[in-house]
């Protein structure tokens, strides 16, 4: 067997590991269940990828983020490591074939799945037939009800352990408090306690809280002084666009990013910032997961984050090259009022949760007793207007319905457009002959997608437009025309969230909201909100020290470089 550092050099080109990586990998190779706590940018993925490459068999990777799974699979395939990612964008036939490949193709080393996919009978049946050498659980804090991002589907991950009793589990997260650390190991049925953690301290990252009404002025001064790349986090999609416009007027290179943009636009904006063509990206928290840009000099928050976990992860995207970097929270009294109001809204009345559930069924035209396993795209703003609901209240109700196991909610589905020809070959060919206008797009569909008559195939309107030299909106218009004529079935890509009914729709009076769950979530969210408010409002304690103590380091000293420490030195 090759040594871990030899595998690291052969595939990734690095000559040595980052702190704690080698220790985690050694623990996994020896067959130990391992919880790895590494801060954002600490190289968590290598902690399961290296040991998986050292052994025969396939590594199952369970992750809640589709975009992050895709990025990791692309990165592995680029270095000639075969990896697959099964998501909802594939047809049942494609998913079936991919599972088959993982059973019979010994060269496939990684299979990425969401925790929801892991619950399906098809996944369980095929996983039982695979030669699984390791189970990796990314974003492992999602398994704990004491965490900030609890996902009910994570609770069932341990159910696959009996299928492969010899395969160890490695759980990975960047931020977990002591109760969450304990809970992760219990819920994943660790054979014995085993936590390997790197200190949460970031010696080169200076934390500041700035109470200033003139946020744009402050952002401009910081960006011009520090010059390097920066991220500004804002609460809303409209906020990102408004802030970007205001900063652009100051002569700075800036763009905005949020989940409401088309995938192509998001990719272009992200790449432009990553390559240094754009200095500042103004984004919602949809931006940043899995992005490893070394030379980010500053991260600014224009709104108060929900939790210190989120704040720590977002700040941690600065200074990964080890050079001095700054995290500045720009706060006003109005932000505090909004934050406190948002916390109160996080607990809708049980009657409201039932009303939202009933309205969802009506809005999606789903009969009582139907819908189990079905997924629906939903425009939440349109839904809110149709039933006179507050949009924020709807999201919180959906979260409780998800926690009770009635539905599953995916805010960023990243679904590809699909096309299938539903008329016979002759009829489709005749349209091409009769219509000079339609001929280019029909020719392209026939040449590029061999199985278009047999099944729905994934397409890219951008790619088709480039090939036939049409504007993209003309391609979309033509596809809709062919769909209306019932020649093809065209399902366009969507950035809308999807709701999947885990169980068939029931009457609202039969919807049960567990008092225990409701009380626990209220307790957790209020505790985390209070910790966040204490951090931003405190003026008599080191910022770095507060963060370290929150994550369980009671022996932390002052950082010496935050706003409190600098003021004390003066």
Q: Domain with 111 in it: what CATH number?
A: 3.40.50.300
- For a pLDDT cut of 70, what percent of the chain falls above it? 98
Whether residue 343 lies inside any domain: the answer is no
pLDDT of residue 182: 95
Same domain, yes or no, for 51 and 129? yes
Is pLDDT of 260 > 80?
Answer: no
State the average pLDDT over residues 132-156. 89
Q: SS3 of 354, please?
A: helix
pLDDT of residue 413: 59
Same domain, yes or no, for 26 and 161? yes
pLDDT of residue 170: 98
pLDDT of residue 288: 66
pLDDT of residue 415: 66
User: Which band of pLDDT confidence, cut at 50, 70 and 90, is reported for residue 98?
Assistant: very high
Is pLDDT of 554 > 90?
Answer: no
pLDDT of residue 80: 95
E strand spans, 432-550? 457-459, 488-491, 498-501
Whether residue 26 lies inside any domain: the answer is yes
Whether residue 307 lies inside any domain: the answer is yes
Is pLDDT of 177 > 80?
Answer: yes
For the chain, the average pLDDT equals 91
Lowest mean pLDDT across 177-181, 203-207, 358-362, 497-501:
497-501
User: Which band of pLDDT confidence, cut at 50, 70 and 90, is reported for residue 247?
Assistant: very high
Is pLDDT of 291 > 80?
Answer: no
CA distance 321 to 503: 48
Find the largest Cα–Cα distance for the chain: 83
Nearest to 517 by CA among 87, 69, 145: 145
**371 pairs with which residues across the strands?**
none
pLDDT of residue 87: 82
State the average pLDDT over residues 1-27. 93
Q: Residues 490, 482: contact at Cβ < 8 Å?
A: yes
* pTM attached to this predicted model: 0.82
Domain at 427, CATH number: 1.10.10
Whether residue 357 lies inside any domain: the answer is yes
Whether residue 321 lies inside any domain: the answer is yes
User: Which band of pLDDT confidence, cut at 50, 70 and 90, is reported for residue 283?
Assistant: very high
Structure confidence by residue, pLDDT tens digits, 342-359: 898 888 999 999 999 999
User: Which band of pLDDT confidence, cut at 50, 70 and 90, is reported for residue 194?
Assistant: very high
Same domain, yes or no, for 190 and 274? no
Residue 383: how many CB atoms within 10 A of its CB?
18
pLDDT of residue 11: 95
Whether residue 530 lies inside any domain: the answer is no
Same domain, yes or no, for 375 and 515? yes
Same domain, yes or no, for 155 and 284? no
pLDDT of residue 216: 96
Strand pairing category for 280-283 and 229-233: parallel
Whether residue 338 lies inside any domain: the answer is no
pLDDT of residue 112: 96
State the average pLDDT over residues 117-143. 94
pLDDT of residue 290: 60
pLDDT of residue 289: 63
Structure confidence by residue, pLDDT tens digits, 214-229: 999 999 999 999 988 9
State the average pLDDT over residues 368-389. 89
User: Which band of pLDDT confidence, cut at 50, 70 and 90, is reported for residue 566?
Assistant: very high
Same domain, yes or no, for 250 and 162? no
Q: SS3 of 87, please?
A: coil
Same domain, yes or no, for 325 and 367? no
Nearest to 505 by CA among 366, 300, 356, 343: 366
511 phi and psi angles, rounded to 5 deg:
-75, 125
DSSP string covering 445-461, please?
HHHH-TTTTTS-EEE-H
Lowest mean pLDDT across 18-27, 287-296, 433-442, 496-505:
287-296
- Residue 471 structural domain: 417-491
Same domain, yes or no, for 448 and 517? no
In the chain, how many domains are there? Answer: 4
Is pLDDT of 187 > 90?
Answer: yes
Instruction: Tell which wins on pLDDT, 213 or 327.
Output: 327
Q: Which two tokens stand for residue 433?
A: 């002959």
Is pLDDT of 412 > 70?
Answer: no
Q: Which two tokens stand for residue 354?
A: 């039932």
State the average pLDDT over residues 31-43. 89
Is pLDDT of 138 > 90?
Answer: yes
Strand pairing category for 280-283 and 254-257: parallel
State the average pLDDT over residues 443-452. 89
Whether residue 341 lies inside any domain: the answer is no
Is pLDDT of 40 > 80?
Answer: no
**197 pairs with which residues across the strands?**
37
CA distance 336 to 304: 8
CA distance 69 to 155: 20
Same domain, yes or no, for 254 and 106? no
Domain end call among 197, 214, 235: 197
State the average pLDDT over residues 69-95. 88
User: Which band of pLDDT confidence, cut at 50, 70 and 90, is reported for residue 416?
Assistant: confident
Same domain, yes or no, for 367 and 405? yes
Same domain, yes or no, for 454 and 556? no
pLDDT of residue 567: 93
DSSP state of 203: T
Domain at 356, CATH number: 1.10.10.10
Is pLDDT of 115 > 80?
Answer: yes
Residues with Cβ within 8 Å of residue 267, at least 6 apart in sequence: none
Same domain, yes or no, for 514 and 481? no
How many residues would you count in the chain? 570
Instruction: Tell which wins on pLDDT, 258 or 81.
Output: 81
pLDDT of residue 496: 79
């Amino acid at each position: 067997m090759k040594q871990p550092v030899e595998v690291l050099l052969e595939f990734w080109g690095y000559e040595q590991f980052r702190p704690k990586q080698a220790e985690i990998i050694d623990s996994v190779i020896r067959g130990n269940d391992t919880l790895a706590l590494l801060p954002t940018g600490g190289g968590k993925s290598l902690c399961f990828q290296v040991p998986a490459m050292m052994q025969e068999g396939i590594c199952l990777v369970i992750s809640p983020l589709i975009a992050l799974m895709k990025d990791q699979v692309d990165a592995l395939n680029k270095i000639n490591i075969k990896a697959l990612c099964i998501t909802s964008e594939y047809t049942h036939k494609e998913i079936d074939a991919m599972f088959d490949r993982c059973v019979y193709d010994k060269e496939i080393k990684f299979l990425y799945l969401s925790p929801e996919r892991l619950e399906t009978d098809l996944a369980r049946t095929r996983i039982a037939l695979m030669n699984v050498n390791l189970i990796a659980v990314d974003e492992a804090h999602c398994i704990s009800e004491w965490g900030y991002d609890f996902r009910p589907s994570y609770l069932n991950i341990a159910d696959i352990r009996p299928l492969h009793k010899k395969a160890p589990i490695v759980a990975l997260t960047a931020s977990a408090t002591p109760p969450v650390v304990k809970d992760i190991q219990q819920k994943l049925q660790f054979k014995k306690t085993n936590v390997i953690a790197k200190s949460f301290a970031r010696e080169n990252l200076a934390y500041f809280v700035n109470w200033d009404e003139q946020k744009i002025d402050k952002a401009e001064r910081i960006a011009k002084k520090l010059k390097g790349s920066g991220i500004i986090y804002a609460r809303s999609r409209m906020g990102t666009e408004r802030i970007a416009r205001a900063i652009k007027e100051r002569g700075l290179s800036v763009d905005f990013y949020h989940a409401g943009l088309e995938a192509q636009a998001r990719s272009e904006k992200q790449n432009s910032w990553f390559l240094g063509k754009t200095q500042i990206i103004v984004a919602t928290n949809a931006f940043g997961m899995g992005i490893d840009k070394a030379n980010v000099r500053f991260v600014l928050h224009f709104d108060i984050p929900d939790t210190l976990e989120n704040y720590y992860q977002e700040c941690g995207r600065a200074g990964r090259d080890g050079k001095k970097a700054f995290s500045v929270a720009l706060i006003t009294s109005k932000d505090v009022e909004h934050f406190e109001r948002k916390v109160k809204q996080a607990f809708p009345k049980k009657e409201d949760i039932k009303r939202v559930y009933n309205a969802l069924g009506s809005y999606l035209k789903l009969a009582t007793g139907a819908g189990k396993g079905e997924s629906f795209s939903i425009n939440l703003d349109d839904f809110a207007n149709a039933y006179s609901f507050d949009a924020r209240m709807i999201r919180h109700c959906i979260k409780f319905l998800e926690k009770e196991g009635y539905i599953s909610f995916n805010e960023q589905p990243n679904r590809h457009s699909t096309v299938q020809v539903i008329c016979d070959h002759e009829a489709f060919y005749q349209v091409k002959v009769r219509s000079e206008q339609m001929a280019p797009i029909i020719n392209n569909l026939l040449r590029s997608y061999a199985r278009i008559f047999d099944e729905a195939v994934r397409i890219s309107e951008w790619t088709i437009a480039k090939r036939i030299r049409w504007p993209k909106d003309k391609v979309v218009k033509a596809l809709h025309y062919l769909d209306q004529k019932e020649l093809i079935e065209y399902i366009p890509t969507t950035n809308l969230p999807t709701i999947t009914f885990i169980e068939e729709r029931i009457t609202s009076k039969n919807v049960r909201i567990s008092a225990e769950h409701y009380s626990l979530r209220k307790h957790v969210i209020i505790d985390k909100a209070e910790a966040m408010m204490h951090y931003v409002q405190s003026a008599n304690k080191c910022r770095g020290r507060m963060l370290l103590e929150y994550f369980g380091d009671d022996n932390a000293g002052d950082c010496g470089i935050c706003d409190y420490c600098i003021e004390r030195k003066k």
